[in-house]
Amino acid sequence: MRGYFGIGIFHNKTPSNLGTLWRSAYQLGAEFIFTIGCRYSKQASDTLQTWRHVPLLTFKDWDDFKEHIPYSCPIVAVEMGGRDISTFVHPERAVYLLGAEDHGIPAQYLAQCPLHLSLPSIRTNSFNVAVAGSIVMFDRTMKSAV
């Protein structure tokens, strides 16, 4: 498969969510993960030591993030109200942005994301952030295998 992707969380609040996302990113082929404006003091760890395989980038704020995303790599916001993932065509290169569970992606930043997808649910509109990221990466992997 051509291209690459990274995935990250805006204002992540717990190391365990980042650790779970990191492990899934390793398993599902992400080239990097990132955080924007972390709200915790230390990184999570996992049994696979994914930090040896998939780098974690940390951005101070939205402007720092926007200044450093890869060239010609659209931001894909994963947030309620977007295009249903079942019909979403993943770009060749992408940076997937997840919002923290308690605040999501603020509207002023969501408006700056050229692509916006959402995950359907049966009972509640919100997934755990690491689970949402894992679903997105799995969907990308399955659709690229076709």
* Cα dihedral sign, 116-62-66-145: negative
Read out DSSP for 49-110? -GGGTS-EEEESSHHHHHHHSPTT--EEEEEEEEEEGGG----SEEEEEEEBTTTBS-HHHH
Check residue 101 and give its pLDDT.
Answer: 82
User: 6-63: per-residue pLDDT in tens?
Assistant: 999 999 888 888 889 999 999 999 999 999 997 655 554 556 677 778 888 999 999 9
Integer angstrom CA distances of residue 138 from 27, 42, 107: 9, 27, 26
Tell if the pTM clears 0.75, that is, is over it: yes
As a whole number, mean pLDDT of residues 110-138 equals 93
- The domains located in the chain, with CATH, are 4-144 (3.40.1280.10)
